[in-house]
């Protein structure tokens, strides 16, 4: 199945932006007024705001597009989505820990996947009043360009805190950002040169940010240098390696030597 490149996604984008902004504004309100939270399996946090945002996004998007599949962190996954050409891939709050701690590095993340490719993405951080949205139905990579002598790599806060960022070539510096969805939004917005994560990620963490980065001309692969597919039976990707083509090529070769 391939992406319908000639499809006009303006209606989907408008509705997704409206739904994402509404959910983000609601969770910001709940954070200000106080809310309960707990743990899912293991150490992963979940709050009343995660559940409320999930309900709002599901109601808005499935009402508008009832034939689409659905994959979300806060909904029970079923195989039904695998038979759909289109599926919404949603994280109601990416960075729940940061959200609860008052660190302004969380985001609502909404993506539309068509034929395994994410084609529409919205990432909204209400704490920073930062909403990024894009439609991208082709590679849209920038020309290879020149390799920068110094470059900034966005990484996770825990990856940096626990020294889990792999060795990087000379000229690299790292900047930590909490939510991976917000990290990708920051990268697409010009606040870094690359994004790296050696951890596996759920599709809902990264699908929307992948669209933003592709639309901004970045090359997007998993950390092994392989293309990523979405709405898969096992909805996880093998880390992230995202950069403009020239830098991506250098980083990919660098990591191949380290493996």
Q: Record the pTM.
A: 0.92
Backbone CA torsion sign across 183, 203, 242, 156: positive
pLDDT of residue 157: 87
The three-state secondary structure class of 209 is helix
pLDDT of residue 259: 61
Confidence of residue 131 (pLDDT cuts 50, 70, 90): very high
pLDDT of residue 184: 98
Per-residue pLDDT reduced to its tens digit, 14-54: 999 999 999 999 999 998 887 777 666 666 777 899 999 99
C-beta of residue 99 within 8 angstroms of C-beta of residue 47: yes
> What is the average per-residue pLDDT within 230-258?
91
Per-residue pLDDT reduced to its tens digit, 79-92: 999 999 999 999 99
Taking each helix axis as running N to C, give the angle between helix 203-215 and helix 180-188, from 0 to 180 degrees, rounded to the nearest 10: 0
Give the residue with greater pLDDT, 35 vs 73: 73
Per-residue pLDDT reduced to its tens digit, 85-117: 999 999 999 998 899 899 999 999 999 999 999
pLDDT of residue 41: 66
Helix, strand, coil % over all residues of the chain, rounded to 5 = 35, 25, 40
122-126, 220-224, 227-231, 255-259: the lowest-pLDDT one: 255-259
C-beta of residue 116 within 8 angstroms of C-beta of residue 137: no
pLDDT of residue 39: 66
On the question of pLDDT at 4 being above 60, the answer is no
pLDDT of residue 257: 78
Structural domains in the chain? 10-135 (3.30.540.10), 151-258 (3.40.190.80)
Q: Which two tokens stand for residue 156?
A: 């996770």
pLDDT of residue 40: 67
Confidence of residue 2 (pLDDT cuts 50, 70, 90): very low
Confidence of residue 145 (pLDDT cuts 50, 70, 90): low
C-beta of residue 150 within 8 angstroms of C-beta of residue 48: no
DSSP state letter for 240: E
Per-residue pLDDT reduced to its tens digit, 184-236: 999 999 999 999 998 899 999 999 999 999 999 999 999 999 999 999 999 99
pLDDT of residue 202: 96
Confidence of residue 148 (pLDDT cuts 50, 70, 90): confident
On the question of pLDDT at 5 being above 70, the answer is no
E strands in 139-256: 151-155, 172-176, 194-197, 201-202, 219-221, 236-237, 240-243
Give the residue with greater pLDDT, 5 vs 29: 29
pLDDT of residue 237: 96
């Amino acid at each position: 199945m391939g992406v319908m490149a000639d499809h006009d996604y303006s209606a989907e984008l408008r509705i997704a932006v409206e739904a994402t902004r509404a959910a983000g504004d609601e969770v910001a309100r709940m954070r200000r007024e106080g809310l309960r939270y707990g743990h899912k399996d293991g150490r992963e946090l979940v709050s009343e705001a995660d559940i409320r945002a999930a309900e709002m996004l599901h109601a808005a998007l499935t009402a508008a597009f009832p034939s689409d599949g659905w994959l979300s962190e806060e909904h029970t996954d079923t195989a039904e989505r695998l038979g759909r050409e289109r599926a919404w891939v949603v994280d109601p709050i990416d960075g729940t820990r940061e959200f609860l701690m008052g660190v302004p590095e969380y985001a609502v993340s909404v993506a539309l996947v068509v034929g395994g490719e994410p084609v529409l993405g919205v990432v909204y951080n209400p704490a920073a009043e930062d909403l990024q949205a894009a439609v991208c139905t082709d590679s849209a990579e920038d020309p290879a360009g020149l390799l920068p002598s110094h470059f900034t790599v966005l990484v996770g806060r825990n990856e940096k805190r626990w020294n889990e960022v792999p060795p990087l070539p000379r000229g690299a510096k790292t900047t930590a950002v909490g939510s991976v969805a917000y990290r990708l939004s920051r990268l697409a917005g010009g606040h870094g040169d690359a994004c790296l994560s050696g951890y596996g990620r759920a599709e809902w963490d990264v699908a929307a940010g992948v669209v933003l980065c592709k639309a901004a001309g970045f090359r997007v692969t998993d950390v092994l240098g392989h293309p990523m597919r979405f709405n898969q039976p096992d909805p996880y990707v093998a880390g992230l390696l995202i950069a403009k083509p020239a830098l991506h090529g250098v980083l990919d070769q660098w990591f191949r030597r380290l493996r």
